[in-house]
Structure 1
Amino acid sequence: MKDWITDEKSVPLNALILTGNDTHITFEKVREVLLGQQNKLNFFTVEIAQIQKDLEEMPWVYSVSIRKRWPDTLKIHVVEQSIVAIWNDNALLNRFGEIVNVAPDASVEQYVSLYGSDDQASEVLNTYLKLHQLLKVNDFSISSLSSDQRRSTSLTLNNGIVLRLGKEQKLDRIQRFLTVYPLMGKKYNVNKIDYIDLRYDTGFAVGWKKEDQLIE
């Protein structure tokens, strides 16, 4: 009886059902992982925990659940990473602020570019999300955002203008920008603005593409 239970030829796994996301994790990739257990592909002896571990080590995989269905089927459900940003030009960030070690390619060009030290990844993403919501309702979007070691934030808008926000009161400073920017457009050519430095208690500094000017 024992030999019948452990003999791969007695109760072999003959079918694989793959559900969930399949953008990056294909049937063939999962099949390759299973073939790594070539001598254990028996309904009773297949090592579910090892298969799950091997699959979850793939960078595009967020989680995996595996179930056996009698008499010969393995059902695998894959949840892929939910990408929200490009990180330091060489990796990605998921929606939890976790670094996904996948090189960016054309498929992720629509995401914002975030920069900072790896230990700040979640914090940088949270900062971006807060500023994005405030800017979005005013028809601005962020193309990139960076945070230095002092957690001082600078971002580039979709129109090319750089906003220097510093470390404190970032939302207040964005609100100040939103208040004064329409007024600037009535008096100046905003297309010539290089950056706006909002790291002042009152007022701000404007860097022009051809000249610098301070506005109080």
Structure 2
Amino acid sequence: MGLFDRWRRRGKPPRAARGKRRRSAQGATPRVAASAARRRQPSVWFNRLLILVGAGVVLAAGGKAWVTLQAIPVQRITVTGELAHTQAEAVQEQVQSSLAGGFLGADLQRMRAELEALPWIFEATIRRRWPAALEIHVVEQLPIARWGSDGFLNHEGGVFHPEREGEWDSLPLLLGPEGSAPALMARYQRLLEMLAPLHLTVRQLQVDERGQVQAVLDGGMQLVLGSRDFRQRMQRFVTVYRRELAPRAQQVLRVDLRYASGVAVAFAQEPAPQEGSQVAGL
């Protein structure tokens, strides 16, 4: 037996057999992967199903809880604030129509609007307090001046018409056409600031349809301010008053400030025979 024969017996199989075996081994890998994927697929869908069922249970429980909370009625209403002209019972009664929705469904904006429509209420704040209470804080109107024959003005120039009470009759009177209240209140407050160092106060402030402004001070002195340059004219009055009018303030009837560089002053009684009026220049 030759060397070649011994190699054939003990050696590797023919090349064709080796290739076939290799192809068989390689072809088995995709089939195993596919089989493993099929085994995993049911568990993935089962997990997704569990997640969906859990989410549904949570949503159902949340919806039931929401419906339950919606059905809780308001059991207590607390009213706070310094109430001098408004009764707490009247505040509670005013909001009853807005409580139909229960604790969570109560219309707080509507309540606030209804309360602020009451004559003496300037501002209302409403808050929910768990589990079934409402807290209402009320700020009452503070009259700064009388407006016309039956109204009052607050610090913002807002007009309100409560029942007239004698305690407010001493307030200054502001008069003007409809819609002029906020601007006139701003002028009134500026007038108070400028007159305070002179120890003078305002009894009446009026603006007419043409925008002409006149003021009457507590001593009866009348200031004619015109329709423009309000601050400049008042500064001129302050200067003239300090220099010339203060010693004779009780005799001054009228000060016309509509001049470009001076004022016209009318006196009730002159200490000496003079004209009934004079012009003071700066």
Matched, 1:77 2:137: yes
Q: 1:25 aligns to what SS in structure 2?
A: coil
**Matching residue of 1:158:** 218
Q: 1:177 to 1:103 in 2, by over 3 A?
A: farther
What whole-Å deviation, never above 9, does each CA across 1:116-148 have from its counterpart, x for those lacking one?
Answer: 112211111111122211111121111111111
Higher relative contact order (CA 8 A, sep 6+): 1
Structure-2 separation of matches of 1:147 and 1:83: 20
Asked if structure 2 preserves the Cα contact closer than 8 Å seen for 1:89 and 1:113, the reply is: no
Q: 1:16 to 1:207 in 2, by over 3 A?
A: same
Unaligned runs of 5+ in 1: none
Matched, 1:197 2:256: yes
Structure-1 separation of matches of 2:154 and 2:251: 35
Matched, 1:213 2:281: no
Structure-2 separation of matches of 1:48 and 1:202: 57
What fraction of aligned residue pairs are identical, expressed as a percent?
A: 28
Moved more, 134-143 or 164-173: 164-173
TM, length-normalised to structure 1: 0.81
Matched, 1:19 2:75: no
Structure-2 separation of matches of 1:175 and 1:52: 43
Matched, 1:57 2:121: no
Cα RMSD between the aligned structures? 2.8
Q: 1:18 to 1:163 in 2, by over 3 A?
A: same
Q: 1:114 aligns to what SS in structure 2?
A: strand
Asked if structure 2 preserves the Cα contact closer than 8 Å seen for 1:13 and 1:41, the reply is: no
Asked if structure 1 preserves the Cα contact closer than 8 Å seen for 2:78 and 2:136, the reply is: yes
Asked if structure 2 preserves the Cα contact closer than 8 Å seen for 1:113 and 1:145, the reply is: yes
Structure-2 separation of matches of 1:26 and 1:41: 25
The structural deviation recorded for 1:108 is: 2.6
**Matching residue of 1:138:** 198
Structure-1 separation of matches of 2:181 and 2:151: 11
Q: 2:180 aligns to what SS in structure 1?
A: helix
Matched, 1:148 2:208: yes
What whole-Å deviation, never above 9, does each CA across 1:25-53 have from its counterpart, x for those lacking one?
Answer: 22111122144468x38434544333222
Unaligned runs of 5+ in 2: 1-63, 270-274
How many corresponding residue pairs?
Answer: 210
Q: 1:145 to 1:104 in 2, by over 3 A?
A: farther
Structure-1 separation of matches of 2:235 and 2:67: 73
Structure 2 residue identity aligned to 1:95: H
Structure-2 separation of matches of 1:103 and 1:154: 28
Q: 1:175 to 1:45 in 2, by over 3 A?
A: closer
Q: 1:90 to 1:212 in 2, by over 3 A?
A: farther
Structure with higher strand content: 1
Return the index of the structure with the highest Cα Rg: 2
Structure with higher helix content: 2
Q: 1:37 to 1:167 in 2, by over 3 A?
A: closer
